Amino acid sequence: MGKLAGAGRVLRDGWLLLGMVILLFCALEGGLSLLVRIKRGVSRSKPDVDWRIHADVYGDRSWVEEYYREFRASDAVFWRPYVYWRRGPYHGQYINVDTSGLRRTIPDRSQPGRSVRIFMFCGSALWGTGARDAFTIPSILARELQSRGLDAEVVNFGEAGYVSTQEVIALLLRLQKGDTPDLVIFYDGVNDVYSAYQQHAAGLPQNEFNRVKEFNLSADLPALRLPVFRDMANKLATVQVASSLLQRAGFRTQPEPRPPMGGGASGQDVGNAYSANLDLLQALSEHYNFKCLSYWQPTIFQKASLTRYERAEREKARTFEPFFREAYAAIGRSRLTQGHQPLVHDLSRMFADVPEPVFVDWVHLGESGNEVVARRMANDVRGLLAPAPAAPGAAPRTRRGVG
């Protein structure tokens, strides 16, 4: 009886201790949760300001803060078959995206009477991060061509994060619907190179390892329990505060994702993958009777004379700068950019010797930089699409889409 009584007291004391621990934890969680909510309320009352409002490319700052507010508000993306994502519709003063997820080009592409249709593909640099609707590369190109006597409807298919393979697929989807342009322009480099750095393999979309993980989880339902419990734990105020304190102390609380793709990627691998996509683009152009141009983007790594702001932006990207330098050098030596009529027009050093501010971050140009790029493209487009002079005495020939 004495042993049973002793065991009962131990069990009772154990339950009492457990209850006290639970009560103390609930009190701690409740207090910290209240503090977290108060802090979030104060944060939400402050405007969500993008750091790029301080970029020195903006001479007129009257519109910049409102632009970046719209930029943050328009940043939501939605699932799209084959290409993974595209923005939803948005209507603002400086940023407008239609129901197809395409950013507005000015002059508006819906205006009638256009004689040439141009499709442009790229990531966020063409979409126009840092620029108003009227000052994206497609908008400036449309106006520049118009000033040179070539009316053009320029469609901006740029989307944040897109690599060239996604662009080829996006073009294919338009062609499947019978929407055939007269000219297709690819403006690439940054996302293809960064994806190869991130994934350790060339030719993949960015963050592909997340999709691999999510797909595998759907096939293993018991394994879903751990992410669910982890997500529940991460929502606890106690965990959030502890994680914040550990981060301030210099401890890493979240492991960096490890790409499942083995090996590594070189600059040559990036060039090979891009070359294969250009082969596909050329095959499509021959079958569907459109012309194509391809350009390699500049980055802040090629600019020798940096402003104080630009130096700070370059410093943020120092971890992957060596890989970009290797990849860009490989492209510069490859058959893609060599010869009298290269497959890719290399614009990477376009701003190398420009002392004035050009970049709003390590990759995105300001509106003045977009204008320089668009004018360079306009020279090529005008020469490529200019009507050939008719032979003496020959009947005039007409070609669809060319005025």
CA distance 46 to 308: 27
CB 136 within 8 A of CB 123: no
For the cut 80, the answer to whether the pLDDT of residue 55 exceeds it is: yes
Task: Express each pLDDT in 358-402 by its tens digit.
Answer: 999 999 999 999 999 999 999 999 999 876 554 455 443 333 332
**pLDDT given for residue 256 in this prediction:** 47
Please write the tens of the pLDDT for every residue from 109-134.
555 666 899 999 999 999 999 999 99
pLDDT in tens, 153-174: 999 999 999 999 999 999 999 9
Q: Which residue would you say has higher pLDDT here, 188 or 261? A: 188
Domains in the chain, ordered, with CATH? 58-204+263-385 (3.40.50.1110), 211-248 (no CATH)
Share of the chain above pLDDT 70, in %: 76
Check residue 83 and give its pLDDT.
96
Residue written as token pair 């390699």: 296
Q: What is the pLDDT of residue 403?
A: 25
Q: Report the pLDDT value the prediction gives residue 17, as an integer from 0 to 100.
A: 77
pLDDT of residue 24: 76
User: If you average pLDDT over every residue of the chain, what do you get?
Assistant: 84
pLDDT band with cut points at 50, 70 and 90 for residue 108? confident
What is the pLDDT at residue 229? 58
Does 253 have pLDDT greater than 60? no
Asked whether the whole model's pTM tops 0.85, one would answer: no
pLDDT of residue 218: 61
| DSSP codes, 37-87 | HHHHHHHHHS----GGGG-TT-S--TTHHHHHHHHHHT--EEEETTTEEEE
